[in-house]
Structure 1
Amino acid sequence: MKKFLFIFLLYSLNCFATSSFNEEVVKKQIAKMLIVGFDKTSIDNFSQIAKDIKKYELAGVILFDKNLEDKTKPKNIKSFAQVKQLTKDLQSLVPYKLLIAIDQEGGKVQRLKKIYGFKETKSAKEVAKLPINKVNEEYKNLALQLSDLGINLNFAPVVDLAINPNNEVITKLDRAYSKDANETVKYAKLLIKEQRKKHIISVLKHFPGHGSSLKDSHKGFVDISNTWSKYELKPYEKLIKQCKIDMIMTAHVFNKNLDENYPATLSYNVNTKLLREKLGFKGVIISDDLQMKAISKHYSLNKTVSLAINSGVNILLFGNQLAKYKTSDIINTIYEELLKGNISYERILVSNRLIKSISK
């Protein structure tokens, strides 16, 4: 009887809270949890991304060079001067610090390429072969270039371990420093240090470890249940203790030993119980792109956003490369799930506080 009354009380409080929501305010709070991609190399007040940023006050945007829909056209990146003007125009839309993000790991994963006139960065595997003074120089140049361009968030360093030599998305692309956790931490710290000097947010990825996987989560379901080991948590554990880590990106990998039902991005067991409670992470958790096939082929947008937010994810990433979603549709979907009681409003408030703390 007591249990029934407790559940009824919680339900009543939730109904009261949702019925008293100010829709405009809440939708802006939801938007503060979104980083989205868009198809423009320049913007004006009539551009959809400009309208969305001003109307909803989005957390940020992500920049890409390749336009996967039309490979004859660039997506956001053509030249140094063009990108610098684009980021300036984006930031001018709002009075707060807009998160302007990019994947500039180095090697095969970098959006700022030599063919556009940028100074390229070596891959993690190549960096790990350099003397420390050369590593510092490499990462100093990377951070300086991002800062000069007005980019303040880099989805790097990768701290996946090069465990599986046949791993097509990490090891074969030279994205891992080493199979050794201590070596990985050593080089990751150097990148974090140089980016921090230039007020660039570093993002560790891909939690809880993608280095032992056999498949690519861009393309579909990835099961690491039989290949993953707790050793893959070591870089996160050490860096959380040794550095002030601002942000960690989740992986779309499934591990039945951590969660029998959901991949890491949608897992409360992984994001809250493991990363928050066991490893003690206090910063922002960001999803990998939620339009990747590992998620989009198996979950509706409604289910994806509700599971991700309730699992402990603070920022939802929609790159709008592999699929297209209107920003308004994403926000409205989250708002609807909130009204239905499928998303905890407290999760949204907590996320807003965390995101504000790293966006100063």
Structure 2
Amino acid sequence: MVKTVRSLTSFLILSLAILSPASDKGLDQPDTLLAHLSLREKIGQTFFVYHSPETFLKQNHIGGVLIMQNMIDSAGSIRKELAGIQKRAKIPLFVGIDQEGGKINRLANLHRFAKTPSGFQLASFSPERITRYARITTDTLNALAINMNLAPCVDPAFNFLGDSTFMFGRQRALGSTPDRITMRAEAFLSGIQQAHGLCILKHFPGYDTPHNSDLEPTLSDATEHHLEQYLTPFRALIPGTSGVMMNNIIYRKIDTLPAVLSPKLVQLARALSSEKIIMTDDLWAVSLRTYIHPKHLIKKEYPDSLFKKIVKLAFLAGNDVFLITFPQKVALMFEAIQEEIARDPSLETQLNASIMRILKLKRSYFMSL
């Protein structure tokens, strides 16, 4: 793995030179930049989509793209493509990836990353070894022009009833207790920070069920008291991160809405820090579509009005960034948010606050390259 990083050093140096946005992009003055953005440009900055053709990204003013394993066929090609997009973008993009390791390994096409330790395996490493691994991983992401890791996962291995969770079953949990998870995740974050990367903690407020909440509506009986235990890593680690990702679980003792659509739970995340970004998980998730209307699950048949309802609820809940794995739905996402702002113009103030968080984070990253 170390040899891989060394072989990519030249790519990294070139990437940093290309990706460093000049002050004429406006990031040095985020409030001035915000004042000159149209409503459509502002809304587009909140969208985080599967990596798509540059024309699509520019036309829709997309704020971030998600890189998957199949998009990384060679280190040089993806780096060159992303670096070119960044150079030509009006506002630089977040380029994200889920690189937790183990079964969530988007770098598997790179020979030295064909097998990577899972969260469960990392839990047996010393903090120093975890930091070294995270630094090497982040150096590699930098060399690929990927600037944000949607990791680490700080969800509980066991819920308040003592039952193992989905994250335990998938070997994604970093420990058996909140304190152990916090210690391992802190070491992981240290490596990311040393390599100058961005990162997102997930899945707020703590994924505590054995079921896959991407595929079906999933219920938790955790109360606010129980959530306090799950929140231990989030509270301790939020200062060193870019923000958090919400989950889709319905904490029915707290709200009838999935966490990502719940103003109560999104505001709980906001209480951790007013400056960090809050992002959704995939808004096209089967579980969310089922929650809104269980009879419409096939992509071509799912009514536009129902998907727009998901987007509207996510926006009204207070999320800053909206992740979608189905870029063709971006037009509906624009419509949904524009309709809400037309209905209640004061919501543009909320949108502006989200854009300021996004622009400030981009400034802190890109202006320091």
Normalising to structure 1: TM-score of the pair? 0.80
Q: Which amino acid aligns with 1:29?
A: K
Gaps of 5+ in 2: 1-34, 293-305, 364-369
Q: Which amino acid aligns with 1:301?
A: F
Q: Which amino acid aligns with 1:117?
A: H
Alignment of 1:1-40 (within 5 A): 25-38=38-51
Gaps of 5+ in 1: 1-21, 40-48, 66-73
What is the aligned length? Answer: 311
Shift of 1:128: 1.3
* Aligned residue number for residue 210 of structure 2: 214
Cα separation, partners in 2 of 1:334 and 1:280, compared to 1, 3 Å:
closer
Structure-1 separation of matches of 2:348 and 2:277: 17
Shift of 1:342: 8.8
Shift of 1:189: 1.4
Q: Which amino acid aligns with 1:289?
A: D
State the identity %.
24
- Aligned with 1:180 (options 159, 177, 180): 177
Cα separation, partners in 2 of 1:214 and 1:333, compared to 1, 3 Å:
same
- Aligned with 1:276 (options 270, 273, 285): 270
Residue 195 (str. 1) matches residue 211 (str. 2): no
- Specify the SS of the correspondent of 1:294: helix
Residue 339 (str. 1) matches residue 335 (str. 2): no
Alignment of 1:41-52 (within 5 A): 49-52=53-56
Q: Which amino acid aligns with 1:283?
A: K
For 1:199-254, what per-residue CA distance to the aligned partner results, in whole angstroms no more than 9, with x for missing partners? 321100000110x20210121101012596431111112223xx333210000000
- Aligned with 1:62 (options 49, 62, 66): 66
Alignment of 1:102-121 (within 5 A): 102-113=97-108, 115-119=109-113, 120-121=115-116
- Specify the SS of the correspondent of 1:355: helix
For 1:51-88, what per-residue CA distance to the aligned partner results, in whole angstroms no more than 9, with x for missing partners? 232223211100112xxxxxxxx4x2212222212322
Q: Is the 8 A contact 2:131 2:189 kept in 1?
A: no
Structure-2 separation of matches of 1:352 and 1:50: 21
* Aligned residue number for residue 361 of structure 2: 358
Q: Which amino acid aligns with 1:306?
A: K
Shift of 1:131: 2.2
* Aligned residue number for residue 309 of structure 2: 303
Shift of 1:178: 0.9
Q: Is the 8 A contact 1:121 1:142 kept in 2?
A: no
* Aligned residue number for residue 294 of structure 1: 287
Greater displacement, 334-343 / 77-86: 334-343
* Aligned residue number for residue 231 of structure 1: 229
- Specify the SS of the correspondent of 1:206: strand
Residue 148 (str. 1) matches residue 139 (str. 2): no
What RMSD in Å do the two structures reach over aligned CA positions?
Answer: 2.4
- Specify the SS of the correspondent of 2:100: strand
Query: Which protein has greater RCO, CA pairs closer than 8 Å, 6+ apart?
Result: 2
Structure-1 separation of matches of 2:194 and 2:112: 21
Q: Which amino acid aligns with 1:293?
A: V
Q: Deviation above 6 Å: which 4+ runs of structure 1?
A: none
Structure-2 separation of matches of 1:38 and 1:343: 32
Q: Which amino acid aligns with 1:307?
A: L
